[in-house]
Amino acid sequence: MRVMFGSRGCARDAGWLLHESHPDARLDAFVAADGAAEIGTRIGDVAIISERDCFERWGEHGIDIYLGIGTSALRRAIRNKCRHALPAGRYPSLVHPSVRFDRRDGATRIGEGAMICAGSTLTTEVTVGDFAHINLHCTVAHCAEIGAFATLSPGCHVSGGVHIGEACFLGAGVVVAENVRIAAGAIIGAGATVVRDIDTAGTYVGTPARLMQR
C-alpha cells in the first residue's frame, strides 16, 4: 500500500516522480487535510481521501508514505502526525532515474523520505537530509549538506561545502556560493544569490541576499 500526503501541485509532481522511479508502483490514495474541498475527487485514477480516513484504514499497516508537501514546516508537521497515527509506516526516498550522483559506497547519503526530481545533479560527498526536497534541475556540489525538511525549488545551484540548515526554503533559481552556511528555517527568495553566511532565520532576497523580514 502506498499513500501520498498532499493533493496539489507538489503532490502531483511527487506522484509522477514515484511513477518514473518505480513504474510498477501504484498509489492507493492521495491524502488531503480533513475538510479540504478536493476530498472525494481524483487525480487521474487515484482517489483523494481525508487524513482521518487514511488513519482509520491503515493505522496498523506497514504502508509506504510519501510527503508531497512543498512547505518545509508543514511537511515536518505531517510527518510528526503520521509517526503517531501510522506507526508502522515506511518513508521511502524517491530519486528520479535521470538524477546524477556519486553512487560509490558511502559517497552520497540520501535520507528517508527525501525526494530528488528530474534533471538534478549531485556530485560527491553530498548529504541530503530526511524529507528534504530537491526540485527539478538543481545542482549540488561536493561536500554540501542539505538539512532535513529543507526545500530547493527548481533551478537552485548549491556550491561545494555549503551547509543548508533544517527546514530552509530556497526559491526558484537561488545560487549559493561555496562554503556558505544558511541557518535553519531561513527563506531565500527566488533568484537571490547567497554569498556570505546567514546566521539568523528570516526572509532574504536580492543579490547579494539581504534580510528583508526576520
Cell representation of residue 179:
562554503
Res 125: pLDDT: 97
* pLDDT mean across residues, the chain: 96
15 in Cβ contact with 4 (< 8 Å):
yes
Query: What fold, for 93-203?
Result: UDP N-Acetylglucosamine Acyltransferase; domain 1 (2.160.10)
163 vs 180: CA distance, rounded Å: 6
Task: Enumerate the domain spans of the chain.
Answer: 2-85, 93-203
With pLDDT > 70 as the criterion, what percentage of the chain qualifies? 99
Residue 37 has pLDDT above 80, yes or no: yes
Radius of gyration of the chain (CA): 17
Q: CA 152, CA 187: separation in Å to the nearest integer? A: 10
Span 115-154, pLDDT tens digits: 999 999 999 999 999 999 999 999 999 999 999 999 999 9
Report the C-alpha gap between 163 and 165 in whole angstroms. Answer: 6
- Is the pLDDT at 70 greater than 90, yes or no? yes
Q: According to the CATH classification, is domain 2-85 in 3.30.365.10?
A: no
Residue 125, C-alpha cell as written in the block: 560527498
Model confidence at 214, in pLDDT bands (50, 70, 90)? Answer: low
DSSP 59: T
Reported as a pLDDT band with limits 50, 70 and 90, residue 213 is low
Residue 60: pLDDT band (50, 70, 90) is: confident
CA 52 centroid distance within chain: 23
> What's the whole-number mean pLDDT along residues 194-206?
97
Per-residue model confidence (pLDDT) at position 41: 96
